[in-house]
Amino acid sequence: MIALAIIALSPVSPIRGVDLSQELDSTGLGWVTYTQLESFANVLLFVPFGLLIALLSPTRWWWAVIVGLVLVSICIELGQATFLPGRVASVGDVIANSTGGVIGVVIAAIIRGMAWATRRLRRGE
């Protein structure tokens, strides 16, 4: 959560200006653009956030967790647009962040489902 806040609210994008073209070319990923890399980073940034919040919440409230993740992402982008002139806020970032959060919630569902199935098997049901 602290890492998310630091990255989201830093005055400059953590990967802006970083030239990864040689590294990407050497791995066969030279076709990846900065925008794609930034979007992927936004997805990855929100996966643990969604996972943690979902695991700490009752399953019946996971719809609210997803809504909350979208609202947090919107607030981050509005904060960047309002208070951080070195950052660029975008709807694409909200979509990427929200996607990462939903992936985290899905992982939480898988973890809970596996735990439930394991308990049933141990009881012999």
Q: What is the predicted pLDDT for the residue at 69? A: 97
Q: What is the predicted pLDDT for the residue at 20? A: 61
The predicted-structure confidence for 25-34, as pLDDT tens digits, reads as follows 666 666 777 7
Of residues 123 and 100, more confidence is placed in 100
20 domain-assigned = no
Residue 99 binned pLDDT confidence (cut-offs 50, 70, 90) = very high
Domain limits for position 64: 39-125
Q: With CA atoms as reference, report the closest residue to 68 among 57, 84, 78.
A: 57
| Average pLDDT estimate for 75-88 | 88
The predicted-structure confidence for 54-72, as pLDDT tens digits, reads as follows 999 999 999 999 999 999 9
86 domain-assigned = yes
Residue 123 binned pLDDT confidence (cut-offs 50, 70, 90) = confident
Mean pLDDT of the chain: 85
26 domain-assigned = no
Task: State phi, psi for 84 to the nearest 5 degrees.
Answer: -125, 85
21 domain-assigned = no
Q: What is the predicted pLDDT for the residue at 62? A: 94
CA atoms within 13 A on the CB side of 88: 8
> Does 53 score more than 90 pLDDT?
yes
Token pair of 26, please? 């050497």
Do 104 and 46 form a contact (C-beta atoms < 8 A)?
yes
Total count of domains within the chain: 1
9 domain-assigned = no
